[in-house]
């Protein structure tokens, strides 16, 4: 059973703390892909917190693609595709024309990206991160017609 301490939240909401704890367990390999998570009611009872708190934490994890739910079966840890960061020595300014010509090309024109190849989980996580960290005024201000 998952156990976390809520003793020193430092102004953080309980659901956000629970969300971060579970997310850290997933990214650090404590919870493995396809592993079943405790039911919302059981986790709330075990931690001595509200069911709503657990529901909110699980919902945030689902939105960001860390877990998924199966109706009438529960919540499971999703497979997270982690790509290693390139080493500084491996970075290059720009690929040569020959490399560009042989690379597989994908058209990003409207409705031409195959849905099965689009990384929805990564996109949702990045979108959530942008919405929570960006300046509110910058998100709704006018931008150049050429884009940001």
Task: State the pTM of this model.
Answer: 0.56
Report helix, strand or coil for 91. Answer: coil
Please report the pLDDT score of residue 112 as a whole number. Answer: 65
Please report the pLDDT score of residue 147 as a whole number. Answer: 65
Picking from 78, 80, 56, the residue whose alpha carbon sits closest to that of residue 69 is 78
Alpha-carbon separation of residue 52 from 14, 18, 40, 99, 141 (angstroms): 10, 12, 9, 52, 34
CATH number of 14-77: 1.10.10.10
What's the CA gap between 48 and 81, in Å, rounded? 33
Residues of the chain scoring pLDDT < 50: 83, 89-91, 96-102
Does an H or E element contain 70, and which? strand 67-70
Please report the pLDDT score of residue 102 as a whole number. Answer: 47
* Residue 115 CB partners (closer than 8 Å, separation 6+): none
Alpha-carbon separation of residue 7 from 10, 13, 17, 69, 92 (angstroms): 9, 12, 11, 29, 47
């Amino acid at each position: 059973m998952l156990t976390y301490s809520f003793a020193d939240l430092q102004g953080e909401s309980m659901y956000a703390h629970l969300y971060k704890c579970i997310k850290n367990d997933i990214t650090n390999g404590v919870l493995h892909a396809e592993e079943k998570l405790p039911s919302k009611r059981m986790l709330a009872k075990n931690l001595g917190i509200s069911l709503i708190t657990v529901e909110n934490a699980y919902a945030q994890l689902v939105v960001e693609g860390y877990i998924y739910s199966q109706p009438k079966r529960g919540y499971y840890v999703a497979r997270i595709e982690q790509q290693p960061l390139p080493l500084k020595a491996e970075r290059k300014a720009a690929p040569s024309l020959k490399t560009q010509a042989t690379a597989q090309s994908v058209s990003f024109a409207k409705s031409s990206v195959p849905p099965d190849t689009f990384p929805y989980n990564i996109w949702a996580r990045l979108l959530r991160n942008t919405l929570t960290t960006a300046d509110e005024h910058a998100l709704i201000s006018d931008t150049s017609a050429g884009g940001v």
